[in-house]
Structure 1
């Protein structure tokens, strides 16, 4: 988690980056931005740092060759951390690097901000951090002001909504040899091919394989196993699948440490299904080159995030949704010959 109560904006440079696939150019400023007053500084701090308060996933910069020196962002931010006099020069290099990788035709042009922050806290450490941000989406704002005993209305086009950061990252001055600690936001073009350039092409990130990611990956693999794989070996109803998902989430909420053998025995139970799950986990590790340990400390933040994706809902046509939170033996499925329709019978003691 990132906290910025004591943080302050030390220096900031602004550049403009177009899309070279659309024959657009980039424009570099000659000097850092001169902040007029503390109000502007405070607004910029809120715009850049507030979105990271809910970010819990931490990355490292990397390079496919395993040589960190070839990662351009790592090289440029290292120059700044070693000699702050190089800040503006390196901010220009970062903007040019972003321009060089922004070659998808759907990538929007926009301003690039490179900022140096003091006293930003991550995981208990108060550190210097370099922020790189890009604003792509502009909005029109109305301004109402007093005029001649009444009011008047004006507008401003191509303005920035300070509550909507399109793209950003914070690179903390710690663990340089591992690629620094990095947190990232990317809300523009989500789910589109154009979106990958920020994380994959510009920053070149790899997920830090800590307890958060171990927990998240295990829950994700198990959910996919129950939803898509278990049918190959077992004939299971949707209520049985929901029960398996509920039991797994209960395990992760109640335990402090994950143990794959304990989890398999308490949640899955069936020896054949247990082996099938372990094989599925191994396939995931091989495919994504990600090791999931057999034991690890459970991250509550990861459990909370994955819990939103664990749906305990039976969707019946467009008429009913049945939420199953407990004993699946209290719901029975049948077929009505007269109506030629399926039905569920639900048993309960009290109606709330």
Structure 2
């Protein structure tokens, strides 16, 4: 979890990169930007807003041989070792980005490199490096008073409402390649920012594993539980799974299976499915891990808990109280109508 509320922008360097394939140039500022009290809160909102709104999926610098061969890892380490060098290193970072800007789809734009202090991540206060890029120019109007009328002037500039690309490199978990958050609003070339510029892999911490395991369970429910049982059991399996994760700090696979699978015949099916699909979710060898509460909350929002019927009726289950669906919803078959039915028990209807 991150908290950027008390984060300070200590330094800001602004450069511009063009597209090499279109013979566009690079412009490197000789001095850092002179920050003032008026611009700082605007830039903080511009830089940080996308990270507050985005699900926290962390990355880490990587290299197939050794981390020391990763250019961005080296640049980040130089800055963290000597924060006063951030402007000079920002030129190297921008030049490195320019060298990757050779695909025709890549847009030119401004590059902002910042040194950040008082950043809270996983309850640790650390420094960080922010690298941001604006690409899309927005139209806006300026007005000028003439002798007898107002003149309307159409201009273009960067909208502070939307950051196009950005990453925050935290001075945290250096041995693993630092912990990194990244955003990319204009995914015209996903490899450009993540692979070519940053050269990162997913950071496989408890947040990553919790999300992956729940996603695996979601697909097991769809591919195995639903065909073997019915839609209600598919929803209820995910219902029980999410609640297991929500109420426990540590995941233990044997306990999990015994608790969430009502049908014991599905336990070997689960293990076979994991052998077949586990590598896709990076959980093939995972049987125990600390549970990340934030990841559970994110997963709860994305998992569908609705039974859609072909009679245009929906039944919505409650992930907070799964026992309600167990006790008060029954499925049956009506011989006369030759149709399935759900029987729902209740005391009174609630006002909407």
Corresponding residue number in structure 2 for 1:262: 255
Question: Please, which of 282, 293, 297 is the counterpart of residue 290 of structure 2?
Answer: 297
Residues 129 and 171 in structure 1, CA contact (< 8 A), matched pair in contact too? yes
1:237 and 2:230 matched: yes
Within 1, Cα distance between the matches of 2:246 and 2:311? 32
Displacement of 1:165 in angstroms is 1.8
Corresponding residue number in structure 2 for 1:322: 315
Q: Report the TM-score, using the length of structure 1 for normalisation.
A: 0.84
Corresponding residue number in structure 1 for 2:73: 74
Q: Report the TM-score, using the length of structure 2 for normalisation.
A: 0.84
- Closer, same or farther: CA 295–288 of 1 in aligned 2, 3 Å: closer
For the residue of structure 2 that corresponds to 1:349, the secondary structure is: coil
Residues 60 and 180 in structure 1, CA contact (< 8 A), matched pair in contact too? yes
RMSD: 3.1
Question: Please, which of 179, 184, 200 is the counterpart of residue 205 of structure 1?
Answer: 200
Map Cα deviations across residues 109-157 of structure 1 (whole Å, 9 max, x no partner). Answer: 2211111122222222222211111112232234579x69x99584654
Displacement of 1:28 in angstroms is 2.1
Within 1, Cα distance between the matches of 2:149 and 2:5? 37
For the residue of structure 1 that corresponds to 2:132, the secondary structure is: strand
1:176 and 2:174 matched: yes
Residues 4 and 121 in structure 1, CA contact (< 8 A), matched pair in contact too? yes
Question: Please, which of 192, 210, 225 is the counterpart of residue 215 of structure 1?
Answer: 210
Displacement of 1:220 in angstroms is 0.7
Within 2, Cα distance between the matches of 1:345 and 1:138? 57
1:273 and 2:263 matched: no
For the residue of structure 1 that corresponds to 2:33, the secondary structure is: coil
Within 1, Cα distance between the matches of 2:190 and 2:172? 27
Residues 330 and 348 in structure 1, CA contact (< 8 A), matched pair in contact too? no
Corresponding residue number in structure 2 for 1:247: 240
Corresponding residue number in structure 2 for 1:162: 160
Within 1, Cα distance between the matches of 2:92 and 2:106? 19
- The gaps in structure 1 that reach 5 residues or longer are none
Residues 110 and 135 in structure 1, CA contact (< 8 A), matched pair in contact too? yes
Corresponding residue number in structure 2 for 1:15: 15
Residues 2 and 122 in structure 2, CA contact (< 8 A), matched pair in contact too? yes
* Higher mean C-alpha displacement, 259-268 vs 132-141: 132-141
For the residue of structure 1 that corresponds to 2:16, the secondary structure is: strand
Within 1, Cα distance between the matches of 2:113 and 2:248? 42
Map Cα deviations across residues 285-321 of structure 1 (whole Å, 9 max, x no partner). Answer: 4345556632222221111100112101123459433
Displacement of 1:263 in angstroms is 0.8
Displacement of 1:270 in angstroms is 3.1
- Closer, same or farther: CA 28–143 of 1 in aligned 2, 3 Å: closer
Displacement of 1:230 in angstroms is 4.1
- Closer, same or farther: CA 143–318 of 1 in aligned 2, 3 Å: farther
Displacement of 1:324 in angstroms is 2.5
Within 2, Cα distance between the matches of 1:117 and 1:45? 10
Map Cα deviations across residues 226-272 of structure 1 (whole Å, 9 max, x no partner). Answer: 112446xx532212211111111222222232211111001014333
Corresponding residue number in structure 2 for 1:130: 129
Within 1, Cα distance between the matches of 2:17 and 2:113? 13
- Closer, same or farther: CA 110–254 of 1 in aligned 2, 3 Å: same
- Closer, same or farther: CA 342–118 of 1 in aligned 2, 3 Å: same
Residues 223 and 245 in structure 1, CA contact (< 8 A), matched pair in contact too? yes
